[in-house]
Amino acid sequence: MIWHKKYTLEEVNSIFDKYMTKLLDIKAVEIQDNHIIATMPITDHVRQPFGILHGGASVVLAESIGSVASNLIIDTDKYAGVGLDINANHVRSASQGILKAVCSPLHIGKTTHVWDIKMYDEKENLICISRLTVAIIEKSRVI
């Protein structure tokens, strides 16, 4: 198991139930030994004017799940995981349903984590591929 301790969905969702992730209704739905899965409903809150999923909303989902995943690995009394770099390839559009993000580690180092986040629609069509790099910094450096 890669996590600092065994977390429940309720504990993870208490993190998601604030800030932008609450506004977009992002929720953790599964935690396994080496990956985490979250969902986001495709509603008008995350659609662009043409009625399809906004690419920025996919990036918010990717950065949210990856940042939370990093913070589930580290000792958060001493350290914080903060987004350093993100990219996303939007390979298919979606306009309704639930977007599912599967977040798996590519690298877990002392000062950086790199996450692979793949997003799927309800038919398991690949919608977006993202890679997130998270910097692990001393909590005293967080402003």
Active site residues: 63
- Rounded to whole angstroms, the Cα distance separating 83 from 81 reads 7
Decide: 119 and 62 in contact? Cβ < 8 Å: yes
Query: For the purposes of burial, counting CB atoms within 10 Å of the CB of 16, is it exposed (0-12), middle (13-18) or buried (19 or more)?
Result: buried
- Rounded to whole angstroms, the Cα distance separating 98 from 138 reads 36
In the beta sheet, which residues pair with residue 108? Answer: 113
Distances (CA, A) of 30 to 34, 54, 62, 96, 100: 11, 24, 15, 21, 11
- Rounded to whole angstroms, the Cα distance separating 27 from 64 reads 10
